Chains A and B, each alone.
Chain A
Amino acid sequence: MAADPHGPNKLTDYIQIHETVMQQFIADGFVIRDGTGFTGYGIGLFLLDGPVECQGGIVLEVRKVLKRVDGHGASTRVQTIEYSYNGVLTGRGCILRYDGPHLHRPMHHVHRYDVLNGDKEGTIQPSEWPSLGQVVEELRAWYYDNFDKL
């Protein structure tokens, strides 16, 4: 049985995976700058948030809450408990947004917008819980599919 990709992970490993994924997208040329930051929020919570700037004026706004599971110092283990990945085409609107369960909609879901045709309403569908890398990958595919319209 495969390990849960969203299960508890050592904080240092978590950060290393984030860096590796971002470096791959930067080397590939799609991601221009990873502007995410990591903060100890207090009371056993950490925040990971900030923009990931991509080609074509695409920005992925990342918001994640991680919870301390156990361990100490650099061995602390954490697990993501909240997330929102909002992919925006600067000056035009949202391309997609993956949200974790929240007070209004208690399941993982994705909002998709036909942004190039002025769609501000979008559609909402239940989704799997994506990783940050999977969302960047989807935005990269969208970018190449729509390259001539940007």
Chain B
Amino acid sequence: MRNIFSEDHRAGTVFIIVGLALAAALAWQGTASPQFVLFSILQYFATVAPVALGLGLTMIAREFDLSVGSVMSLAGCIAASIGAADPVTGAVAGILGGLGIGLLQGLIITGLGLSSISVSLGVLMTAAGLAYIVTGNLTVSLDRPELSAAINAPILAIFSWRSLLAIACVAVSAVIFRWTRVGVDLVATGSDRAAARTAGVRTERIVVAVFTLSGGLAAASGVLLSYGLSVASPSGLTDVLVPAISAAIIGGVSLAGGRGSPMGIAFGTLILCLLNAGLNALGISPTAQQVILSAVLFAVAITAAPRFHRLLAR
């Protein structure tokens, strides 16, 4: 008899069930129009999905990019500071900054053979510090209401430019992952690094690429979020690390590497967004939602733990 907590489906199954239950709760409440509900789900998706995607890809490679949260807020701060004068330059600067930081991280990790957790911790703190310097420890207001309206304007009732970009990122990554050599090499790098190297895979290039991408995606999310809200704050506009990790693991990414995919990560993010919307619809306060989200993360950490099955076997 197959245990429901078997290898591939552990955390995911439970939360698909929870997510669907909450979707049902949403439908039942019916206070807001379905379009609006979908729109807000996708807006939250637009914030979390790129970050979860970047982080998830590093996890598939059996690494971990802790810095995604601060890179996101740094990019937002850079973009907002420059964007008051010229939004396009601001956005480009922010995203290039993210790509640059990611590239640097990847090079340090592979060039010196260091653990990605410790390096990304250092980058996390440095990027946070830079954000404070860029903004002078102030919240930067963009004062471009037409820009934020445009970014968040509903397209086809449920999308916005932000969410469309996030969906595009997912789609492009999914295609590359599923249909090209790069995806194969990525999975091999995370699945068994030594075997991949022996077979001839350029694992170092893969790691550098994945960290660069992670930085760029986090930056993109941060830039668009700041533009959309017309404000940037050095302490970050939203805590994104916890939802990103949860989304990735729910979506099938394994901490041990080699498992998961962009589609899975997107799926996991959607579940999370559904959870969020469902809880909102049920009138649960944001603080209580925090508690529930933490319970989700705990459950995820426990069920994904290597020795969890021993607990079950007792």
Q: Do A and B come from one complex?
A: no
